[in-house]
Each structure stands twice: as structure tokens, then as C-alpha cells.
Structure 1
Amino acid sequence: MLNPVKSIYLQPLTPKSSIVMSLRHLHLPLAAASLVGTALVSFLIYKLLKPQQRRSRMDYSKKAVVVETIDVLETAMTRIIEDTSSFKVIGLDCEWCSERSGKRRPIALLQLATISGYSVLIRLCKLDNRSLPQSLRDLLANRSILKVGVAVLDDANHLLTDHHLPTRGCLDLRYVASRHMPRDLRSKFTGSLKNLADIFLNKTLDKSEDVRCGDWEADVMSTHQIRYGAQDVLVAVDIFLSILQGKFGALPDRADDNLWSQVASMCQGLLDVKYKTKATERKTNTNVLTEPIKTTTKTSNAYKPRQTQMYHNCRLIAPSGELLCTCHKQKAEWYIKKGIGELECEEPFTVRLKFEPSGMPGLDRAYYLQDKANMCVVCGSEDSYIRKNIVPHEYRRHFPEVNKKHTSHDVVLLCLACHQLSSSYDRIIRNQLTVEYNAPITNSTNARYREDPRRLKARSAAKALKRNTKVGKLPEQRVDELKRILSEFWNVEEVSVDIIDETLTLDVKCENEEFQGSHGEKVVNLVMKDQNGIEKFEKRWRQQFLETMKPKFMPALWSVHHRHTSVDSNEDNQGSIPPR
């Protein structure tokens, strides 16, 4: 006899009841499958949105090397140079103390790290700048070795100002990250090193305020300070490697030329560039004291390489056939065009003058008669070059007239990289001159013009009123206040549309009564009070150029002791380069 309960399942099912029973049987398996599917989809979405985790190339377990002596520093530099020969990247950061007034003290600690996890904490506050090894100077000045970090260019500028250490090849991680970060992660980007570590490394940095603002000039660094100083540079390198790996895949232990050409392309236009957000770019200058602004559509040519050769080595000869100088072809042709010279021969292009010249260079005449090569005098590059004024124009423009003649002696050619490095070294001596002659580069005493606060306030009020006539969003009380400002400024009872329009064109610049001359003018005026002051000043700049840049291809007969002697100022009656 059948069990009545079991018999139910043996009865034939109708189509409708068959479907219902099938769904009842499948309900539990479908629910489980649904949950598994949802979990799987969620996991895949998480993996897509989350930065790809990778095995870190950095060894964070290594103890940082604290450098307080030159001997230890030289040993550490040997290891750093070895690491950077295979992978040209180092992390760079600096720490310093601030006084109660908020003024920054000189950099106390320079942190460096390589991709092997080797980190060095150089206590510059314990070392003499003059005894720093050349290997450190060369490393920092080498533009082909990338110095990565956040706000690393600011640190580089402080190194130059505080310790006379030009630093090139600075790459702000914020630029690289924002350029190569996946779109879905950009909403999380805030720009701090801590934020970048969280995004790219899934790592939380310890940015304790007590350590960050601690005493970096203390006799002995604490364990927390050492760990803090090392982590910043190690993480900076790790973030950069993470970005590279996300773009190029697995990275070799030793980077070849092909990889570095790709890295160079990836960092195009970002080296030694100060990081700016869109908000920073929109920010206007609110300084009251300003120099007069010259409106021009032409871009600056300060670092624009020449498109044509500098030296044509054309000849100018006197009526007697005596060689006077070599010059640019355009200048030689000018004498022919004016009818005061005639073409002597095409190769080399030579022009014979039809008049007797006067005031030729004296003791150093031979320098102006030689051919000069179109190449960088430092490295010999012939691809492109820029004119370099060894004695900067900001000073020479204030020299006596006799010292302004024949300045080509102090004009040489440098490639773009060498020109930028030389300009960094120039800043060192300019800062020294600022202190020696009490001639600040920018302050209230050397700005020829200043903005009149009263005029500036009136013009601002007029702009607001003009805008309100179109938009009409200002409250009546504010409108009355703005009109009162214009009424008091123009001494009128009623502010008309014409007054508002006239105020809009108001010139807010006025002569600065405290003006004592520009930095360059003040320095030169004080230099000339010393006997042979200009001559010593020129030698100082020339000597500094030789010592810092170590040029290998200077023109023959170029001399630190060059003098501007001519027939006009001494008995050496040999004439001069004829006037153009």
C-alpha cells in the first residue's frame, strides 16, 4: 500500500502544475546562483576600479643611512651612483625648521632614495657647503637623472638658495599622476603624497604633524624622524615606478635606452616645471608694488634656441687691407648697402671699408679677429644654442659707456640644458650681491612704479557697478556703498554713467617715491665706488662661469682678465670695430 504522502508525487501533473512544481524545485538553486553571480560581478567591478596591485620594487625594510660627515656622504654617494647607473630615478625631499615668525630656516635635511630601497638622509645643517663632494653636486645637476617627489622643484630652489646646489631633472609626481591616471580615479586625486600613495600603492603614510614640524636641526635625529624622512623619498620612487608599470607593464631591473626614450616621451614638458593647478593659474597678482607691465603678444625668447647660426665669421677689412674684425653676414652686407663698403671676395665673405675706422679694440684685439665655432662652449653640442651673457645684462646696462663696448667677449653660446644650469649658478651670485650691497631684487625701494590703493579701490568699485548694470544682482545697500566710493574719489554729489566709464580707464600706476633704483643699478653704482670696481666685477662673473660650468670649448684667447681698452681711452692707437 502506498504512503498517502508519497502518492502525491506519483500522480500525473498537469502542464500548469508541472511548471509550478519545477519553479519550486529550482527556487533554492536559483537564489544561490544569483548571490554567487552578484558577488562575482561586484568583485570584477572592484578589480577594475581599484588600481592594479603589484609587487613593490622597493625594499622598505632597509635602514636609512644618516649622513653627518663628509666621509660617510662620499661612501653613500658611491652606492647612489651605482644604483642610478641602472635606473636613473631618485626620490628627493627636504626638511627644514621654521622660526616663530614663520620665516623658513635653511634646509636642514636632504633625503634621497634609489629604486633598490637605499635611502640616505643628508644632514646639511651639520655639513659645510664648501666641502660637499662633487659627486653630490653632479648628481643633483644631472638632468638625465629624474628627481621625483611632490613639490620637488620648490625643494630644488631652496637647495640652490640655501646651499648653492643647483638641482635639475625635477619631476613633480602630481603632473605625471594627473596625466597618466585612469579617469575613474581622478575624482579621488587631491595631489598630496599621502593621497598618491593611497591611490597607487594602497599604502597609508604616517604624516604626523609632530614629526613633520619637529626640530630637524637637533643634535640627534629621533627614530620617528629617520623613519619619516626615509618613507617620503622611498614612497615617491615607488609611486613613479607604479605609474611606469601601469603604462609599460613589467619593468626590467636595468632600464635600457628604449625604455628611457619612452619615459622621456611620457614626461614631455614636465621636467623642472612648477606644478600649477587650474585655480593657481587663474589667481591674479595682488601685490601692491609692481613693475610697469608692458603689453605684448610676443612670447619670451629667454630660452628659445637660435634657428640660425650665430657666427658667420665674415671679414671686415680696412682700406689698407688690414683685418678689423669678424662679424655676422648681415652686418657685413649693411656696409655694402650703405655704400661705405665693397665686396672683396665671397669665400670667406669679406667687405673692404671705404673709410678709415677709429677706436679699434686695443690689448685684446686678437680675440675679435678669430673665427668662432657655432657650438655650446660647455658640452660642444651643435644642434641648438642660445646666447649667454656671462656678465648679465641687468648689470652691464648700467656700466659706463667704455665698458659697454665690444661686449661680444662675454657673449658665448650654450645649449638649452647648459644655459638653464648656468642660469641656476647665476642665481647664487645674484643672491650674494643682494646681501653684499643691500640691494634686494624686489621690494618697495626698487619698484619704479606702484599701484595707488585709492585709485585701485575706485576702479574696482566702477567695475562692480558696470557689471551690476548688466546682471543686476547687487543689493541696493552695496550699490550705494560703491557709488559713495566714487563720489568721494571724484568729489561729486552724483555718480553718473560717464563717471563710471571714466573710472574704468583710470591708470592706477604712479611713481614710487621710495624708488632707489633697480637691483642691478644699485649694485653697479656701489661697485663703481671701488677702485677698478667694474673690472673686478666682470672678473668675478667670468671666474664663476669657468668654475661652475667648466667649459671645454671656449674661444681661443678668451680671458678672465679681458679689458675694454681702445684708442678712445688709451695710447694703444690701433683703431676699433667700425660703427654700424
Structure 2
Amino acid sequence: MSQESGVATTRKWAIVAAGVGLVYVLVRNRQSLLGPLRRVWHYGSPLPQRHIEVLNSVQETTTQWVLNELKNHCQTFKVLGFDCEWITVGGSRRPVALLQLSSHRGLCALFRLCHMKQIPKGLRELLEDDAVIKVGVAPQEDAMKLSHDYGVGVASTLDLRFLCVMAGHKPGGLGKLSQTHLNYTLDKNWRLACSNWEAKELEPKQLNYAANDALVAVAIYQKLARDLEPKYFWQRRSLNDDSLRNKFEPFLDVDFTKGFSLSLTGSGATRSKSCGPSKSKKWLPKKQPFRQMGTRSKDFYDNCLLQAPDGELLCTIDRRKASWYLNQNLGTQISEEPFTVRLNFEPAGRAVGDVGRYYQTPKENQCVVCGDRDAYIRKNVVPREYRKHFPMVMKSHTSHDVLLLCPTCHQLSNISDLRVRTKLAVQCEAPFKYGDGSVKFRDDPELKRVQSAGKALLYHGTKIPAAKVADMQRTLLEFYSDQTEVTEQLLRQAASVEYRVENADYCQHGERVVQQYRDKFGGLVELERLWREHFLHAMQPRFLPELWNVNHNADRLEVRASEGRVDEADLLVAGLDAKVKVI
């Protein structure tokens, strides 16, 4: 080979290597390099080919045409932007005046319900179609208003903030989400938001404001959905809304804010249509009603081995428990790696079948959903508020239902649990937060007025207008009917009145649910199965421990029953078949 040929070959391979390196750099840094360009391509104008239809009457031919178009659009992409507008008069909310629905193709229908006075049949069918997801920020609030005002149910609402959390973004209001994810600024002037939505004719600014809220909701959904299904920039396949629905289903019709603190930086506040200039303030998350669990960065599973006296493996345990057997002279250390303890006494039972093998199998220190190993929190698949009311035989050996989740997955799992709690509250007549029977004590309005009047007159009587003083004194004398005048002694007696009284309808949610499943719904193994199946469906874990299954406790109790180590009464509470005989 000549020198020139060798140089040419070297140059050729150098060019190839440089090209491969350039492609590698582009692929590796595609997000940072293509992010700004992608925003120009897709989000420079997030509302292309916008088509707004204002519908004032049920009888209009346009109304039926628009409904047919929306339904046709939902055949290919089953998502609609959803929003409502109303006015407040004298501090009281009027019925919903305007309903906005928009499709991914840019069609936005503005239904002026204040003129229609009813929900058209086709619109009712679309709202009640649970196959079509209605997206927005706090859509459940609008759905409740429509239900209250017009008797229509809105099925499959999805708060966009759930998608933010799932995709690792900060949740926020619609304006913030639009700016962050679409680079598009919504007009959120409070005067426009609180304008007269019942006017005979809506102004162009009102139409633009109302339509954009619904259209932007669909665009944000599409962007966040793509974040959840990342693709290389050369891939052009469209979103698969059926596969996405499987991810979102646990969060459908769930209020983002009620009962949970997501502990995220940034705003997660529910949208507010307060009529007045907005003031900058930090969102204060609601107090979390459940025990806050700390994040662990060190290993949770030590996978030490516990053996029977003859050397048969019983189970894996943590180092602390293994050391306890040694300190109590109940066992002898056999080896250091793996740390193994052999018992000095015969255990009550040994490993049998898949139940026994589950406890023998080492467990991985990772999130069972995504596989993350950096930090994790223990997740009680069957929540403790129910488990603590189980019989003792079903409260022991519950490690099967304690799984490790990373903070993000733990957060999402807790939110998805709200849907099951809500269903159980209805099924078992056991309100868990907002029902009449959810509080042990309630405020008696009359007693509260008496105490308030007594304190006000006792400590601030000289500063209160005479008319108000007379009104308060009248309240006290009506309550203390045996008194003819208001004395200091009477004021002190009134000021010390206890207005919190015991609620006769109170029930503890977890206890009531356990009681109902024990007596009416097939036993406690059915309640366990319900929660485990929900966890599998909602979180779709890919790294569950080997042999983990939804019928684990039922199988374990049957093994114990065959060995004569469980009472028949406990089997009945569990709901196991009477054919299981206690020896």
C-alpha cells in the first residue's frame, strides 16, 4: 500500500470516527440541544387552526353539528379540554354560565348554559362517557358544579397536576403550566376572569379567554404525555391514549388537593376565581392525615438467614432481629457472610410451599415500581388504618405487604389510594374525611354563638357598638331563659361553654370498613386482595419480590390451619372456606 493510500485511508476513518462522535453527542444531549428548537416547532403557536363555536340554544342546528364533530374527534384521541365559567352575585355563586370543551384538533365549543337552561342530550352523553378523559386544572370542582346545577355527571376527569408529578415536573395553575410547558402566556387578568359570563353577548376578549383555557389544557396534556413516553427525535409515532389511560386511570375523578400534601416545591393550589387583584403568596399544602414516613438511603433488607436447629432455612431477617436471637441465647451464629443464625429451639412452623419460599427469598433494596436504588420509603400495600383492626393472626407476618418505593412512586401510590378509600367509604358507609360521620366531635352552632357572645362582652364589651351589645345580650338571655339580666357571672359562665359535642354518627373509617368486610363482603382476605390488586393496577410494579401474590395471606392461613396453628374463628373472620379444617 502506497503512502498516499495509507493517508487517504486514515483520513477516511478519521472522518467516520468524527461523524460517529457527532451523532453520539447529538443523541446524548438531544434534550438540551433540541429543547429550544422543539419549543419553536411545537409550542411557538400551541393553538393552531383554532375554531371556536359559541352555542346559545339546544335547538340550533350548529349545536348538534358541533357535538358530532367533538365525538368524531374523540374517536381518534379520547381527550377533551374541560372548563367552566360562572358569576357570583352578593357573595353567592350563580349556576354555571359557560361550559368549554375542546378537542386536540383545535375545535372549542362554548356552551352558554345560562341561555340553554338545560344540558343537550348529546352533550350529556359526551360528559358522561367515561371513555373520554376531560382534562384541566381542578376539573373535579367544575364537574361538581355541573352536577349540582344541571344534574349531569362528568365522568373521567383528570387533573393535569397529576401528570406533572408523574413526569417529574412542578404542579401549578393552568397559566403557570402553559408558560412552562408550552411557552405560551394565557391572559389571566382577574377582571376578565370575573367578567359577566351571563351577558347577552360575550365580548371577543371573553371568548378568547374561555376558549384558550380549554384548548391549552389539551395541549399541556399532549406535552406531558410525551414526557411520560419519551422517544428519540427521529421517531414520529403518535400518542397512544389507550396505553396512557392505564397509567392515569387510578387518578381519574380524584381531587388533587384533598387530604394529601405532595411536599413539592412550587404551587399546587386549586384554581380560584376570586374577583379581585391576585396577591402573591406561597401555597401552603394541607396537613397530611396519614403518618409521615421518612425516606431511607441505607439498606432496608439485610437478608440475614435464620435456620432451624437441623440447618433448614426458615426465612431471611434483618440484622437487628438476628442479633436479638443471639443476645437472648436463643440462637447460635453459624457464619458471618451471609450473617446466619441457627435457632436453639424448634420453631412453631417451617417453610411450606410458595408461602414459605417467599420468606426464604432474599429481597432487593430498590423501588419495586421503577427500580430506583437511591432512596426509598416503606409502603403498606394494605394501609395500616385497616390492618390495625385485623385479628392478631392476620397482623403478624405482614412483611409481604411492606414494599419499598422511591419518594416519587410512593407519592403517586398514596394519591391513587384515595380513589379506593372513597369507594370503600361509600360501599361500607364509612366516611373517611368529609362526611358527617368522619369527626368524633362537632361544633354546636347555638353553643358556639353563646360562647362567642360571652367572650366578646366579657373582654371587649366597652369597644362594641351598643346595637351589637344588645343583640349579644339577647342571645345570652334567650339561651339562659331563667336569667333576667346579663351579669358578669353570666358572661363568665357563657365564655366557658364547651360548644364541641360528641357526634352520635361518628365512625372510624378503617374500623367500619374492616367490620363490614368481615361480616358482609367475604371476609378480610377480600379486603387484602382489593388493596393488592389496586396496587398492581395503579403502579404496575416491575420489580416485585419473587413469589409476591395477592392471595398470600389466604395461602398462609391455610398452611397454618393444616398444622393446627389457627383458630376456626379467625378463619371465619378472614373469610376462608369452611372446608379448611383445623386439626
Say which of 371, 378, 392 aligns to 2:362: 371
Say which of 429, 432, 456 aligns to 2:448: 456
- Whether contact under 8 Å (2:454, 2:495) holds in the other structure is yes
Question: CA 1:165–1:354 in 2, change beyond 3 Å: closer, same or farther?
Answer: farther
State the Cα deviation string for residues 229-286 of structure 1 (Å, max 9, x = none): 63323467999xxxxxxxxxxxxxx9xxxxxxxxxxxx97236443588899999x9x
User: Quick one: distance in 1 between partners of 2:472 and 2:418?
Assistant: 45
Structure 1 match to 2:516: 526
2:197 aligned with 1:209? yes
Instruction: Give 3-state SS (helix, strand or coil) of 1:527's partner.
Output: helix
User: Quick one: distance in 1 between partners of 2:269 and 2:542?
Assistant: 29
What's the offset of the Cα at 1:323? Answer: 3.1
- Whether contact under 8 Å (2:74, 2:103) holds in the other structure is no
State the Cα deviation string for residues 15-72 of structure 1 (Å, max 9, x = none): xxxxxxxxxxxxxxxxxxxxxxxxxxxxxxxxxxxxxxxx973555433797878874
Say which of 57, 80, 90 aligns to 2:45: 57
User: Quick one: distance in 2 between partners of 1:569 and 1:130?
Assistant: 44
Structure 2 match to 1:270: 266
Question: CA 1:208–1:505 in 2, change beyond 3 Å: closer, same or farther?
Answer: closer
State the Cα deviation string for residues 410-437 of structure 1 (Å, max 9, x = none): 2222223323333343333333334434
Instruction: Give 3-state SS (helix, strand or coil) of 1:395's partner.
Output: helix
Say which of 222, 226, 233 aligns to 2:214: 233
Question: CA 1:211–1:499 in 2, change beyond 3 Å: closer, same or farther?
Answer: closer
AA matched with 1:75? T
What's the offset of the Cα at 1:552? Answer: 0.9
Instruction: Give 3-state SS (helix, strand or coil) of 1:388's partner.
Output: strand
What's the offset of the Cα at 1:545? Answer: 2.2
1:34-45 matches, within 5 Å, as none
Structure 1 match to 2:457: 465
Query: Which structure: larger Rg?
Result: 1
AA matched with 1:209? W
Question: CA 1:440–1:102 in 2, change beyond 3 Å: closer, same or farther?
Answer: farther
AA matched with 1:558? W
Higher mean displacement: 350-359 or 154-163: 154-163
State the Cα deviation string for residues 521-544 of structure 1 (Å, max 9, x = none): 333322223474322232222222
Structure 2 match to 1:509: 500
- Whether contact under 8 Å (1:110, 1:121) holds in the other structure is yes
Structure 2 match to 1:556: 546
Higher RCO, 1 or 2 (CA under 8 Å, sep at least 6)?
Answer: 1
Structure 2 match to 1:570: 561
Instruction: Give 3-state SS (helix, strand or coil) of 2:316's partner.
Output: strand
User: Quick one: distance in 2 between partners of 1:463 and 1:176?
Assistant: 47
AA matched with 2:449? K
Question: CA 1:329–1:125 in 2, change beyond 3 Å: closer, same or farther?
Answer: farther
Instruction: Give 3-state SS (helix, strand or coil) of 2:320's partner.
Output: helix
TM-score normalised by the chain length of structure 1: 0.56
AA matched with 2:375? S
- Whether contact under 8 Å (2:302, 2:317) holds in the other structure is yes
What's the offset of the Cα at 1:558? Answer: 0.5
- Whether contact under 8 Å (1:466, 1:500) holds in the other structure is yes
User: Quick one: distance in 1 between partners of 2:545 and 2:95?
Assistant: 43
- Whether contact under 8 Å (1:362, 1:567) holds in the other structure is no
1:330-341 matches, within 5 Å, as 330-338=320-328, 340-341=330-331
User: Quick one: distance in 2 between partners of 1:483 and 1:350?
Assistant: 78
Structure 2 match to 1:426: 417
- Whether contact under 8 Å (1:197, 1:235) holds in the other structure is no
User: Quick one: distance in 2 between partners of 1:473 and 1:178?
Assistant: 50
Structure 1 match to 2:76: 75
Higher mean displacement: 303-312 or 544-553: 303-312
1:290-329 matches, within 5 Å, as 302=292, 305-329=295-319
Structure 2 match to 1:382: 373
Instruction: Give 3-state SS (helix, strand or coil) of 2:546's partner.
Output: coil
Structure 2 match to 1:172: 173
- Whether contact under 8 Å (1:567, 1:574) holds in the other structure is no
The total of aligned residue pairs comes to: 424
Q: Which runs of 5+ in 1 are unaligned?
A: 1-54, 81-90, 141-146, 180-191, 199-203, 215-223, 240-253, 255-266, 286-295, 576-580
Question: CA 1:67–1:448 in 2, change beyond 3 Å: closer, same or farther?
Answer: farther
User: Quick one: distance in 2 between partners of 1:384 and 1:524?
Assistant: 33
Instruction: Give 3-state SS (helix, strand or coil) of 1:563's partner.
Output: helix
AA matched with 2:212? Q
Question: CA 1:474–1:205 in 2, change beyond 3 Å: closer, same or farther?
Answer: closer
AA matched with 2:440? R
Structure 2 match to 1:546: 536
State the Cα deviation string for residues 489-536 of structure 1 (Å, max 9, x = none): 597788777876676565433322233x23333333222234743222
What's the offset of the Cα at 1:556? Answer: 0.6
- Whether contact under 8 Å (1:312, 1:329) holds in the other structure is yes
Question: CA 1:505–1:196 in 2, change beyond 3 Å: closer, same or farther?
Answer: same
Structure 2 match to 1:443: 435
Instruction: Give 3-state SS (helix, strand or coil) of 1:413's partner.
Output: strand
Instruction: Give 3-state SS (helix, strand or coil) of 1:445's partner.
Output: helix
Question: CA 1:280–1:456 in 2, change beyond 3 Å: closer, same or farther?
Answer: farther
AA matched with 2:50? K
User: Quick one: distance in 2 between partners of 1:178 and 1:328?
Assistant: 49
User: Quick one: distance in 2 between partners of 1:61 and 1:328?
Assistant: 62
User: Quick one: distance in 2 between partners of 1:235 and 1:312?
Assistant: 50
User: Quick one: distance in 1 between partners of 2:351 and 2:177?
Assistant: 53
Say which of 392, 395, 408 aligns to 1:404: 395
User: Quick one: distance in 1 between partners of 2:45 and 2:265?
Assistant: 27
- Whether contact under 8 Å (2:304, 2:318) holds in the other structure is yes
AA matched with 1:171? G
Instruction: Give 3-state SS (helix, strand or coil) of 2:436's partner.
Output: coil
User: Quick one: distance in 2 between partners of 1:279 and 1:465?
Assistant: 37
AA matched with 1:475? P
Instruction: Give 3-state SS (helix, strand or coil) of 2:314's partner.
Output: strand
- Whether contact under 8 Å (1:342, 1:351) holds in the other structure is yes
Instruction: Give 3-state SS (helix, strand or coil) of 1:171's partner.
Output: coil
User: Quick one: distance in 2 between partners of 1:433 and 1:213?
Assistant: 46
Coordinate RMSD, CA, aligned? 5.6
What's the offset of the Cα at 1:555? Answer: 1.0
Question: CA 1:398–1:97 in 2, change beyond 3 Å: closer, same or farther?
Answer: farther
What's the offset of the Cα at 1:354? Answer: 4.5
Structure 1 match to 2:465: 475
AA matched with 2:445? P
- Whether contact under 8 Å (1:194, 1:205) holds in the other structure is no
Instruction: Give 3-state SS (helix, strand or coil) of 2:83's partner.
Output: strand
Question: CA 1:355–1:271 in 2, change beyond 3 Å: closer, same or farther?
Answer: farther
User: Quick one: distance in 2 between partners of 1:69 and 1:335?
Assistant: 68
What's the offset of the Cα at 1:157? Answer: 10
What's the offset of the Cα at 1:368? Answer: 1.8
